[in-house]
Every structure is written in C-alpha cells, then in structure tokens.
C-alpha cells in the first residue's frame, strides 16, 4: 500500500462562520502479485453560515492487471 491523503481544514468568523474542507487522496493497493487497485479522490466543501457549497470533486477507482509487477510507468 502506498499513497497520500492530504486533508485541509479552515475555519474563520466573518459576518457568519465560514468552514472549508478540502481532501485529496491517491492510494495504490497491490492485490495479489499481478494486480493493483488505485483510488483517487478530490473533494472541496465550504459552508457560509447554514449554506453548504460543494465546489469540486470526483472519485476515480481503477483496477489493473500488471504484466510486469516490478516495473510500472
């Protein structure tokens, strides 16, 4: 297993309370000797008072058969 998970939180008070959440993840898992599973995600969420805004995001899952598991480009 290898990869990164990078959460980012922000909170500030203006006229209303503002909360920001960003998460980016890239995780790779070996399944057996010749297979790999990759999971990518990105999410951006913010609140302004009681209003919730989702500005960007995706989830991508990929399953691969590796011909030569010791080399991947």
Residue range 41-61, pLDDT digits in tens: 999 999 988 899 888 789 999
pLDDT greater than 90 at residue 24: yes
Q: How far apart are CA 63 and CA 23, in angstroms?
A: 22
Res 8: pLDDT: 93
Say what the pTM is: 0.65
Res 73: pLDDT: 55
Mean pLDDT of 11-21: 90
Kindly give, in sequence order, each residue whose CB lies less than 8 Å from that of residue 41, ignoring residues fewer than 6 positions away.
23, 24, 25, 57, 58, 59, 60
- Please, what is the average pLDDT of the chain? 87
Boundaries of every domain in the chain: 2-65
pLDDT greater than 70 at residue 70: no
Half-sphere exposure of 38 (CA within 13 A, CB side): 9
How far, in Å, are 3, 9, 11, 22 from residue 18 at the CA level? 30, 11, 6, 13
């Amino acid at each position: 297993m290898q990869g990164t998970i990078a959460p980012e939180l922000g909170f500030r008070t203006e006229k209303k309370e503002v909360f920001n959440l960003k998460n980016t993840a890239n995780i790779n898992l070996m399944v057996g000797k010749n297979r790999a599973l990759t999971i990518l995600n990105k999410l951006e969420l913010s609140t302004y008072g009681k209003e919730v805004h989702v500005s960007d995001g995706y989830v991508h899952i990929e399953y691969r058969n590796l011909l030569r598991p010791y080399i991947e480009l």
